[in-house]
C-alpha cells in the first residue's frame, strides 16, 4: 500500500512548479512584449550630450522601424559607446514607448588646425580628433599649434588640476627640447611635457604671489626642478635658462 506524501512535501512541489512557471513567464515576457505595437519606441531622450550631434547618437543606436523598448539595453549602450567622442553610456527604458540614453562625452582638451588648416578640430588629451563641431557647440578651448600629444597632454593636465588657469590659456605650442609654451593672456608659461600636478600648482601660487605684490612679469619658467623662474622679458622661443 502506497503511503500518501506528507502535506508539506506536496506544498513544496506545488511551490517549485509555480516558481518554474513564473520564471519561464518572466524570461519569455520581453520576447512576447516586443511584438506589441504599444511598446514600439516612439521617443528617445538624450542626457549628457553637449558637443556630439544628437542625430549621430540616435543613429548609433541602430533602431529599426519596429524597435521595441524591450530591446536589449546593454547592446544599445555598447553601440553608443562605440561612437567616437563617447566615454561612457547606458540606456534606460521607460514604458510604454521611450528610451533614455545617458552618456558622458570625452573631454576635449584643445582645438588644433584641421588637416588642411581650414578649420579648427577638437582633440582629446592624447591629441586624437573628436567629432565635435566647435562652431555649433561653442567650444572655448586653447588653440594648440598641432595635435602633439605632449602639448595637448599638458593642457589636459591643467584642465583637471586648475580649471581657472586653463580658461586663461589662449594657445600652446611645442618649443626646444620638446618643452611646452603656453600663452596666458599677454604672458607666457614654460613647462616640461612631463610636468606633474605639483608643477601646475606651483605656477599658480607664484602668479598669485606676484599679483598680490604688484610685480610685473612676462614669463614664468617651470621647467626646472623645485623652482619657478620669473622673467620680465620673454626668452627666444623659450630657450632661456636664467631668471630676471
Q: What is the mean pLDDT of each run of 10 residues along the chain (244 residues)?
A: 57 51 46 72 97 97 94 97 98 96 98 84 96 90 95 98 98 95 97 97 98 97 96 75 48
- Overall fold of domain 37-105: Ubiquitin-like (UB roll) (3.10.20)
Rounded CA-CA distance 22/87 in Å is 38
CA dihedral sign, ordered 230, 232, 238, 243 = negative
pLDDT attached to residue 237: 66
Closest listed residue to residue 192, CA positions, set 206, 204, 175: 175
The tens digit of pLDDT for each residue in 162-218 reads: 999 999 999 999 998 999 999 999 999 999 999 999 999 999 999 999 999 999 999
CB 34 within 8 A of CB 71: yes
Which CATH architecture does the domain made up of 110-238 adopt? Answer: 3-Layer(aba) Sandwich (3.40)
* CATH 3.10.20.310 domain position(s) in the chain: 37-105
Cell numbers 512584449: residue: 33
Rounded CA-CA distance 213/228 in Å is 17
pLDDT attached to residue 244: 47
pLDDT attached to residue 137: 83
Amino acid at each position: 500500500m502506497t503511503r500518501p506524501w506528507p502535506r508539506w512535501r506536496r506544498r513544496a512541489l506545488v511551490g517549485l512548479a509555480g516558481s518554474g512557471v513564473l520564471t519561464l513567464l518572466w524570461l519569455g515576457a520581453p520576447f512576447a512584449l516586443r511584438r506589441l505595437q504599444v511598446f514600439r519606441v516612439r521617443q528617445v531622450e538624450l542626457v549628457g550630450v553637449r558637443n556630439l550631434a544628437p542625430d549621430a547618437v540616435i543613429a548609433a543606436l541602430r533602431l529599426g522601424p519596429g524597435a521595441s523598448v524591450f530591446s536589449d539595453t546593454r547592446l544599445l549602450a555598447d553601440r553608443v559607446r562605440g561612437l567616437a567622442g563617447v566615454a561612457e553610456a547606458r540606456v534606460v527604458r521607460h514604458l510604454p514607448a521611450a528610451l533614455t540614453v545617458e552618456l558622458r562625452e570625452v573631454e576635449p582638451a584643445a582645438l588644433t588646425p584641421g588637416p588642411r588648416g581650414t578649420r579648427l578640430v577638437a582633440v582629446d588629451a592624447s591629441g586624437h580628433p573628436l567629432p565635435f563641431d566647435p562652431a555649433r557647440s561653442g567650444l572655448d578651448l586653447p588653440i594648440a599649434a598641432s595635435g602633439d600629444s605632449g602639448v595637448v597632454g599638458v593642457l589636459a593636465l591643467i584642465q583637471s588640476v586648475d580649471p581657472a588657469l586653463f580658461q586663461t590659456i589662449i594657445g600652446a605650442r611645442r618649443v626646444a627640447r620638446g618643452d611646452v609654451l603656453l600663452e596666458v593672456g599677454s604672458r607666457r608659461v614654460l613647462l616640461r611635457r612631463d610636468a606633474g600636478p605639483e608643477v601646475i600648482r606651483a605656477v599658480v601660487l607664484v602668479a598669485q604671489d606676484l599679483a598680490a605684490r604688484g610685480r610685473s612679469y612676462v614669463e614664468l619658467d617651470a621647467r626646472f626642478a623645485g623652482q619657478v623662474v620669473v622673467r620680465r622679458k620673454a626668452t627666444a622661443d623659450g630657450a632661456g635658462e636664467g631668471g630676471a
